[in-house]
Amino acid sequence: MKNDALLFLWAKLARIVRGCSTGLSVIVDEPGHLRIEARSGRPFVNVRIQRSHVGVYLLPMYYHPEVLGSLTERKSGKGTLRFYEEEDPLIDELSGLIERSVALVGHY
């Protein structure tokens, strides 16, 4: 884990992602790293602690950027979101993004 201070933020984001990813396979679930794959074995999402942020790496967003919605402020790259603090009001939008992305499984 690159930054222990971000563990609470990671836990909050991982809880949201796990809750919205029903029917998908959790491959890795350890402090600082959550990896979920589609039934086909393709990556779906990773939530990882980095040096200065927690990254949410969402593969459907790479192929279908229209699912992003209001989270454009957190976008960093084609399929990456960066979060820096637990009180970020945009965290509440993450569940909608994950739900829209789950609907795209099999279309990317």
Average pLDDT of span 51-74? 94
CB-based contact 98:21 (threshold 8 Å): yes
Give me the pLDDT at residue 101, please: 95
Average pLDDT of span 88-92? 95
Q: What is the pLDDT of residues 17-35, one digit of tens each?
A: 999 999 999 999 999 999 9
pTM of the model: 0.93
Q: pLDDT-derived band of residue 106, with 50, 70 and 90 as boundaries? A: confident
State residue 33 phi and psi, 5-degree precision.
-150, 115
Give me the pLDDT at residue 1, please: 78
Q: How many whole angstroms from its chain centre is CA 10? A: 10
Q: pLDDT-derived band of residue 50, with 50, 70 and 90 as boundaries? A: very high
Q: Classify domain 4-102 by CATH architecture.
A: Alpha-Beta Complex (3.90)
Average pLDDT of span 71-81? 93
What DSSP assignment string belongs to 5-46? GGHHHHHHHHHHHHHH-TTSEEEEEETTEEEEE-TTS-EEEE
Give me the pLDDT at residue 108, please: 74
CB-based contact 81:67 (threshold 8 Å): no
